[in-house]
Amino acid sequence: MGANSNILAIGSNFAMIIASTKKTKWGGHAMFKLKQTLFAAACAFTVSSGSVAWSAPVTDADIVNDGKTTEDVVSNGIGTQGQHYSPLDKINAGNVAKLVPTWAFSLGSEKMRGQETQPLVRDGVIYFTGSYSRVFAIDARTGSKKWEYDARLPDDILPCCDVISRGAALYDNLVIYGTLDAKLIALDRDTGKVVWKKDLEDYTAGYTYSAAPMIVKGKVITGIAGGEFGGIGRVEARDAKTGELIWTRPTVEGHMGTLNGKDNGITGVTNATWPGDLWKTGGAATWNIGTYDPETNLIFFGTGNPAPWNSHMRPGDNLYSSSTVAIDPDTGKIVWHYQTTPHDGWDYDGVNELISFDLNKDGKVIKAGAKADRNGFFFVLDRTNGKFISATPFVSKITWASGFDATGRPKYNPESRPGAPSATGEKGPTVTVAPSFLGGKNWMPMAYSPETKLFYVPSNEWSMDIWNEPVTFKRGAAYLGAGFTIKPLYDDYIGALRAIDPTNGKIVWEYKNSAPLWGGVLATKNLVFTGTPEGYLKAFNAKTGAELWKFNTGSGIVGVPITWEMDGEQYIAIVSGWGGAVPLWGGEVAKKIKDISQGAMLWVFKLPKS
């Protein structure tokens, strides 16, 4: 029987059941429950690839509870708080050594650079993005492709850090993602057809979009990239079903926010922390994904470096660059902020995720948030108000500051700030500073385990020579005012996966890796998974750091692993494919990793059946 016949048959059955209810004396509650059941079944009915399929719409409740449910992964971070944690333990420390691939899917074509994505899973289908703004829907049981969508990118896009895409969002029956030419697109989950498409910004001015969108209370929340071109960062909320703009909040002082098409107050106070007109090209790009805490009803978004890099041109703190801002999702207003690197002169973007967790300290439970920053410090804040709790190093060498005072301000080392260019236009004095601008931790998400109460941070040990240069803003041109060379600190390793106790900032265990770590982390009840540029997906004991299993995927891993349960079995998935910022910006580090093979594969693993 064809798909249309099935539709008619099921529709006829629905009609017969509804008709029969008219001849039956039902109690009010029973009638309501029957109608509710029929309505839910009707809403879930779809047609895909010529056959009948049942796909339940993804709801706000599904997304908020993603970390507690195990049969799917419907959000980046496995829950809005971004903990990247699953309570699953069918794959555990006692049997993970038996883990084997069940199938692998090639992304195909020549577009194999930088697969920095986290897959999503719903109703037996895996959804994920690939380089060059592609989206795939794959049957989770067989590895066969259901559909693929390729954005038609213009030739003159200006992505800063490779042609990557960090993931999509699921809502209702939509797959929503952004493109390198700064568009936001919603696709039908079953067919891959475009439902709506919106422009986020003008890509010819240097704007782009590569982060995964997030869903909060029926709104799709996005940032924007382009700080290296003098673009202005902002956070926006749109109706997830229609793409219509609800509010926008710029992240540089002096710019006006909007709500429902009307002015909604400027961000900060014009010229309070920016001199002259530099706030008009101030950067602070929101190029990574944020997190959302339902308990406080706050969105936490990180902001990038101020523009230009040359800090001598812009005295002041340069709010709200290199910060975390807490935004009310209903109004788009900034509720609080914390600036991790005031007056940033080293490109220490503050875009890294703030993960919500409960901190047990001095006999009290604090609603806290933790962030491993580019500047090398691990921060713990009170997430209800942004109050500073602690900042401790999570890398071995930090030279730009000696620490933070009790108010949460850095104690700068003035000799580590690159000098100003001369009056005649020569570059300023070079300084060597650690960490490098690629950061103690970059975009790759860390994980938090409520089981061990530890954070698992993918970090890197490197320094940089950096100097300032004269620069003038020109639309669509790089707006740095600095030069640099990145160097590894040690001969035997660059990357280090570190387990950190947030109560004291101490490193409980670490795994050292020869090449930089550039992929995300997954924590389960007693395991931690992450990938390496050498191509290995690895599993560690969450309490001790002992390496328990590894599998070589054939290309460097810079993606984010996930886990879910299907047909009574636990699965692990990772997208493998080397690329990202390191081989493009890595200086002497890039030479060390020049022979790593590119590739583009989705790998899925499970335990063999006994």
Q: In CATH, what number is assigned to the domain containing residue 179?
A: 2.140.10.10
Q: Residues 42, 83: one domain? A: no
CB distance 184 to 220 below 8 Å: yes
Q: Is 347 a catalytic residue?
A: yes
Count of domains for the chain: 2
Q: Residues 33, 182: one domain? A: no
Q: Residues 572, 537: one domain? A: yes
CB distance 207 to 201 below 8 Å: yes
Spatial distance between the Cα atoms of 343 and 321, rounded to a whole number of angstroms:
8
- Active-site residue, from 62, 66, 162, 347: 347
Q: Residues 292, 426: one domain? A: yes
**How does DSSP assign 94-159, residue by residue?**
TTGGG-EEEEEEE--SS--S------EEETTEEEEEETTTEEEEEETTT--EEEEEE----TT---
Helix, strand, coil share (%) of the chain residues, nearest 5:
10, 35, 50
pLDDT at 595: 85
Q: Residues 38, 141: one domain? A: no
Q: Residues 29, 69: one domain? A: no
Spatial distance between the Cα atoms of 420 and 389, rounded to a whole number of angstroms:
34
Q: Residues 48, 143: one domain? A: no
pLDDT at 425: 87
Q: Which domain holds residue 19?
A: 3-54
Could you tell me if residue 540 is left (phi over 0), alpha (psi between -120 and 50 degrees) or otherwise beta?
beta
Q: Residues 329, 228: one domain? A: yes
Task: Give the pLDDT means over successive 10-residue stretches in the chain (610 positions).
Answer: 37 38 39 40 40 74 96 97 98 98 90 90 97 96 97 87 92 98 97 98 94 98 94 97 98 98 97 96 96 98 97 97 98 98 97 97 94 98 98 98 98 96 92 97 98 98 97 92 95 97 98 97 98 97 98 96 98 95 83 85 94
Global confidence as pTM: 0.91
Q: Residues 315, 188: one domain? A: yes
CB atoms closer than 10 angstroms to residue 501: 15
Spatial distance between the Cα atoms of 174 and 188, rounded to a whole number of angstroms:
5
Q: Name the token pair of 17.
A: 């059941």
Q: Residues 32, 106: one domain? A: no
Q: Residues 43, 137: one domain? A: no
Cis check for the bond before 308: say yes or no (omega within 30 of 0). Answer: yes
Q: CB within 8 A of 379, min separation 6: which ones?
A: 338, 340, 370, 371, 372, 373, 388, 390, 391
Q: Name the token pair of 308.
A: 């230009």
Of 354, 344, 436, the residue nearest 388 (C-alpha) = 354
Q: Residues 441, 457: one domain? A: yes
**Coil vs helix vs strand at 164:** coil
Q: Of 37, 54, 71, which marks where a domain is finished?
A: 54
Beta-strand ranges (E) seen in 542-596 are 547-552, 562-566, 569-576
401-404 and 410-412: which strand pairing?
Answer: antiparallel
Cα torsion 47, 51, 56, 58: sign: negative
pLDDT at 1: 36
